[in-house]
Structures are given as structure tokens and as C-alpha cells.
């Protein structure tokens, strides 16, 4: 938007200063010659095809307008069937496999479990290396658990592949499905990082379930996960584990320690020192303070049975085992408790394949409402790329109408006529016909680039309308009647209107034909603009003159009657 704005400002300045000077130098008319511009063979053919159509539209005005309205209505019926997404998935040329394992796993066991998985990935001929990262780094910039691993695949150049990217990912999923007790998802380096920063999740869609009781959250999250897996288009479905972490639980018998005269703090101090360790002093070495931690040896704190044998000192100097004063056992507990807006939450993530994100989320929302009963205080929100799409849609729903109103105000200021400003603004909905149809039949979705394409299309449609209407007014001021001005003006403005559309279309053809990285983002814009310019140009050349002549004649007759 910034680039286009500054380009237009520069173009405006040049048009008002440099272009008139250049025109005076290079467009001199020699004596005895006329300044009339002769038509070439192409323009003669185009006028031969165009002028009869325009004459027919002027003669049968109601039929011409009715056909345009039918086309607009048919296009409106197609619009709900176009999927919606935030941004097309860009092929970065690199794949990241996100793995999640048992939350209670140690770092050593996590690495051991990763090794055969990485070897299985390396069996594919397209994969020449795997770089992995398990857990968080030293700076804690990426807060991952020891059970989480990001596998960055190093692949051979795409031109050496014998299969498509989709087939490659299917082969990877087939390899990963052989391993039990893991959840996995596909992503890309940039996409993963941007998604984490914007929405806190790494997938295209995130279902955030909020509530208070962890057991209820676990149960309902499991129900939603199974429900999502059965919906068409869902891939890489997994949820954040709430429970599964093992805890050492020591329940002190208050009556027993009271008989022995022991305080709870005494047992707590013993457990803290023996198992967790306590810094008892510091060692100074080269101006560095190094804490000295004291705790029991590994063999004396490795299991509940051994911990029960720890001796607790009594006030009378004797000792008694910890197992005599408290129950010691290993229990399952929460892996982590995540809160958002002061509410506990669990996240179910999924990627979407073969359909649009918004349609997928609508089906998921409907299924959850029908099949999952949530108690009071428990509710669901949706995040990920869907959240971005909703935010962008709300912003465009506010900005685009404001822009159209401003354009209408500028047109009214220019022509001093509500009718003529309205005729030009009518070009905007009719310009959408080709954009919507081309988007529908190309199989692309309505995304931010496609929305930008529609906005660009509106600008070109209004520009062509201004070119036509201003020339009609100029001819009428020279003394021609409304119909005569329309006929002559449409013929004279055929060349500039076609040039505007063709130059814009040819300029976007490279975006339409591009296949390199980033082409996925460019293609929706090019499809919308090129398709929209086709119908917009036809309607500008045929429908706009018809509406102008029809409405201006009615206005003229009304003024004559009133006078």
C-alpha cells in the first residue's frame, strides 16, 4: 500500500509538470496537417466489434441493465462458496517436523526416542539431513519442554525430486505413523516462528478450551481432539497434555508427628536437603562465587521405597524412618498449567489440508456445539491463522467502505453531480464479477492478497469510469446531445480504456505465471485483478454509457418538466 501510494503521488506530480512539457516538444502538429489520430488495423477491428454492441445496449437499455444485474446476482451466489483464509501457505522450500512425546520423559530418553524417528526420515531419498532441537535453549527464548523436538529437514534441491511436495509429506506421515506415543505436526521455519509470535501456536488452527478444573479440561479436550480428527481436511491433530508428569507426593501424618513432637518444618527441611539439595556455603574461585550444594547420593533418593527409609531426628536424639511418619508415593500430576486472561486453558492444534481454514473452523465450531457439552465457566475460542483471518476481515470490513465513501465524495466534488458520481461508483460491484468468478474457478481462497487485488480492481474501475464520464461531459459542453456525446465519447475513449486494462493485466502476468518461493502469495492478487479487469472493461464500455445516457435523459426531462 505504501509503495503504490508513493508511486501514485510521483505519477501525479509528473503528469502535472513533466508530461505537458514533453507533450509540447514531441506532439507538434505540422502545418497543413490535422491532429486527428488515425486508427490502426487492430483498433478498426475492435471498433467494428464494439460499436454495434454499444448501439444495441443504447437501444435496449432495460435488457442491458437486466443482463448485468443477472450476472451480478449469479456472482453473488458464487461468493459464499469461495473459501477464506488469512494468507496462502507459502512454500519456503524447507520442512519442520514438530514432535511431542510423553511429558514426563527425561532429556536423555527424549533424545533416544528421536534417533530412530530421524533415521526413518533419512530413509526418504529427498532428505539428506536432519537438524534437531529438543527443549529450550540457554536463553529461554523458545520455551519448549524436554518432550518437544523441532526437526529441520535438509532436503535435496526440488528439481532433483521425482515426486511432488504433497507426496513427499504423505511419505513422511507414513514413516511417522509407525511410531507410538508421539504426536507430530508439519510446519516451516518462517511460518512456525511468525505463528508463534502472533498467536502463540504453531498450527493453522488452534482450539483454546478454557475452564477451572484440570480433570474436566483433560476430558473435554480429549473429546474435541477426537471430534476434530474425524472432520474432513484435518491433519496433524494433537493437543497439549495437561497430565502425565510424575510427582513425588509425601503426605505427612499429623497425629503421628504430634506424638513424636516433630514439626512439619523438620520433615520439609529433610526432604528439601536430601532430594532437592541445599546450598550450604560458597567457594571463592578467581573472584567467582560458586555455591556448594549438599544432597543425598542418587541411590539413596532414587525411589519412594528408598526415600521411606530416610531417618528423621526426634527431640530426644533418637531417629525414626520417614515412612513411619508419612506416606511416600509417585503420582501423576499436571505437566504445566497454562493461563490466558486469568483462566486455565488447554490447546488442541490442527493443520488444514485441501480446504479453507474458515470453512474448516465453522464446521469444527458447529460440531463442538452439537456434540460436546461444556459446563458453565467452560468455553472455546479459536486461534492460529483463523484468528489472523478474522482480524484482517474485520479491519477490511471497516476500511473498504470508508474508502468507497471517500471516493464517492471526491467524484461528487469533481463532477458536481450525485448521479454521475453514482454511475461511476456502480462500476465497483460490476468489476467484482470477473474477480469472484476467476477466484472461484481457479480454486483459490479469499485471502489478504486477494482482498488487495479487489481493492486494486476498484481503483482501475473508477479510473476508467472517470475517463468515460468526463469526456461525455466535455462533448456535451461542445453542443452535442446526450446520446450523440455518448456515442462519440465511447468510440473515442475505447483506446485509453483498453490500454488501461491491458497494461495492468500484462503487468500482472508474471505474478500469475510465477512458480518460485512467494508465488503463492502473489497468485490470488493477479487472478482477481486480471479476471476482474476483463469484466470491468466490458461493463465500463457497454453498461456505463448506457446508464449515463438513460439517467441523464431522465434527469433532463425532469428538469424540463419542472421548469
Q: Express each pLDDT in 130-143 by its tens digit.
A: 998 888 777 666 66
> What digits encode the pLDDT tens for the residues 385-402?
777 788 888 888 888 888
Give the per-residue pLDDT at 33: 46
- Quick one: how far is CA 5 from the chain centroid? 24
pLDDT exceeds 50 at position 35: no
Give the per-residue pLDDT at 9: 92
**pLDDT level of residue 563 (50, 70, 90 thresholds):** low
- Quick one: how far is CA 353 from the chain centroid? 14
Cell of 297: 547420593
Let me know: does 320 contact 312? Beta carbons within 8 Å.
yes
What is the mean predicted confidence (pLDDT) over 520-541? 86
Give the per-residue pLDDT at 29: 61
Let me know: does 307 contact 328? Beta carbons within 8 Å.
yes
Give the per-residue pLDDT at 34: 47
Task: Say whether 309 sits in a helix, a strand or coil.
Answer: coil
**pLDDT level of residue 30 (50, 70, 90 thresholds):** low
CA distances from 497 to 411, 477, 536, 537 (A): 18, 22, 10, 7
pLDDT exceeds 90 at position 13: yes
> What digits encode the pLDDT tens for the residues 215-236?
888 889 888 988 988 888 888 8
> What digits encode the pLDDT tens for the residues 170-182?
899 888 888 888 8
Q: Which of 465, 457, 467 is nearest to 544 (CA)?
A: 465
What is the mean predicted confidence (pLDDT) over 495-524? 82
Of 202-211, 242-251, 274-283, 499-508, which has the strongest mean pLDDT? Answer: 274-283
Give the per-residue pLDDT at 18: 93
What is the mean predicted confidence (pLDDT) over 363-372? 89
In the chain, % of residues over pLDDT 90 = 5
**pLDDT level of residue 32 (50, 70, 90 thresholds):** very low
What is the mean predicted confidence (pLDDT) over 71-85? 87
Helices 41-59 and 61-78 cross at an angle (nearest 10°) of 100
Query: CA-to-CA distance for 490 and 50, rounded, in angstroms?
Result: 10
**pLDDT level of residue 10 (50, 70, 90 thresholds):** very high
Amino acid at each position: 500500500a505504501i509503495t503504490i501510494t508513493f508511486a501514485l503521488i510521483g505519477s501525479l506530480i509528473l503528469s502535472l509538470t513533466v508530461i505537458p512539457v514533453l507533450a509540447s516538444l514531441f506532439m507538434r502538429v505540422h502545418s497543413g496537417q490535422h491532429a486527428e489520430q488515425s486508427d490502426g488495423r487492430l483498433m478498426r477491428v475492435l471498433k467494428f466489434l464494439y460499436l454495434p454492441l454499444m448501439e444495441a445496449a443504447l437501444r435496449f437499455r432495460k435488457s442491458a441493465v437486466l443482463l448485468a444485474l443477472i450476472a451480478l446476482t449469479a456472482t453473488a451466489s458464487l461468493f459464499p462458496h469461495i473459501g477464506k483464509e488469512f494468507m496462502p501457505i507459502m512454500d519456503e522450500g524447507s520442512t519442520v517436523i514438530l514432535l511431542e512425546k510423553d511429558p514426563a520423559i527425561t532429556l536423555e530418553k527424549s533424545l533416544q526416542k528421536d534417533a530412530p524417528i530421524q533415521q526413518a526420515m533419512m530413509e526418504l531419498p529427498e532428505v539428506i539431513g536432519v537438524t534437531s532441537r529438543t527443549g529450550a535453549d540457554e536463553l529461554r527464548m523458545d520455551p519448549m519442554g524436554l518432550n518437544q523436538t523441532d526437526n529441520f529437514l535438509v532436503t535435496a534441491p526440488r528439481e532433483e525430486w521425482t515426486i511432488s511436495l504433497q507426496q513427499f509429506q504423505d511419505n513422511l506421515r507414513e514413516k511417522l505413523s509407525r511410531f507410538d506415543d508421539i504426536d507430530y505436526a508439519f510446519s516451516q521455519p518462517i511460518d512456525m516462528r511468525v505463528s508463534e509470535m502472533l498467536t502463540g501456536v504453531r498450527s493453522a488452527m488452534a482450539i483454546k478450551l478454557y475452564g477451572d478444573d484440570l480433570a474436566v479440561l483433560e476430558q473435554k479436550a480429549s473429546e474435541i481432539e477426537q471430534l476434530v480428527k474425524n472432520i474432513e481436511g484435518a491433519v496433524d491433530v494433537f493437543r497439549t497434555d495437561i497430565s502425565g508428569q510424575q510427582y513425588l507426593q509425601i503426605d505427612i501424618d499429623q497425629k503421628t508427628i504430634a506424638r513424636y513432637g516433630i514439626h512439619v518444618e523438620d520433615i520439609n527441611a529433610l526432604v528439601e536437603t536430601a532430594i532437592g539439595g541445599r546450598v550450604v556455603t560458597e567457594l571463592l574461585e578467581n573472584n567467582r562465587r560458586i555455591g556448594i550444594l549438599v544432597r543425598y547420593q542418587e541411590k539413596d533418593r532414587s525411589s519412594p521405597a528408598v526415600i521411606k527409609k530416610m531417618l528423621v531426628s526426634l527431640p530426644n536424639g533418637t531417629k525414626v524412618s520417614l515412612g513411619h511418619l508419612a506416606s511416600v508415593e509417585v503420582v501423576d500430576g499436571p505437566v504445566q498449567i497454562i493461563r490466558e486472561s486469568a483462566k486455565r486453558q488447554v490447546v488442541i492444534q490442527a493443520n488444514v489440508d485441501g480446504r479453507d481454514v474458515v470453512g474448516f473452523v465453522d464446521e469444527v465450531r458447529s460440531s463442538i456445539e452439537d456434540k460436546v457439552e461444556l459446563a458453565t465457566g467452560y468455553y472455546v475460542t479459536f486461534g492460529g491463522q483463523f484468528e489472523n483471518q478474522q482480524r484482517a476481515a474485520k479491519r477490511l470490513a471497516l476500511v473498504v467502505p470508508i474508502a468507497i465513501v471517500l471516493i464517492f465524495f471526491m467524484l461528487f466534488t469533481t463532477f458536481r453531480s450525485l448521479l454521475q458520481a453514482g454511475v461511476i461508483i456502480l462500476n465497483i460491484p460490476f468489476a467484482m464479477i470477473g474477480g469472484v468468478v476467476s477466484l472461484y474457478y481457479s480454486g483459490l481462497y479469499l485471502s489478504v492478497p486477494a482482498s488487495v487485488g479487489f481493492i486494486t480492481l476498484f481503483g482501475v474501475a473508477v479510473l476508467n469510469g472517470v475517463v468515460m464520464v468526463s469526456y461525455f461531459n466535455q462533448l456535451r459542453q461542445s453542443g452535442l446531445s446526450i446520446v450523440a456525446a455518448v456515442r462519440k465519447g465511447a468510440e473515442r475513449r475505447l483506446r485509453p480504456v483498453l490500454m488501461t486494462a491491458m497494461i495492468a493485466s500484462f503487468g500482472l502476468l508474471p505474478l500469475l505465471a510465477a512458480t518460485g518461493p512467494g508465488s503463492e502469495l502473489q497468485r490470488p492478487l493477479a487472478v482477481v485483478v486480471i479476471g476482474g479487469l476483463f469484466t470491468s472493461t466490458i461493463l465500463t464500455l457497454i453498461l456505463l454509457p448506457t446508464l449515463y445516457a438513460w439517467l441523464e435523459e431522465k434527469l433532463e426531462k425532469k428538469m424540463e418538466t419542472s421548469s
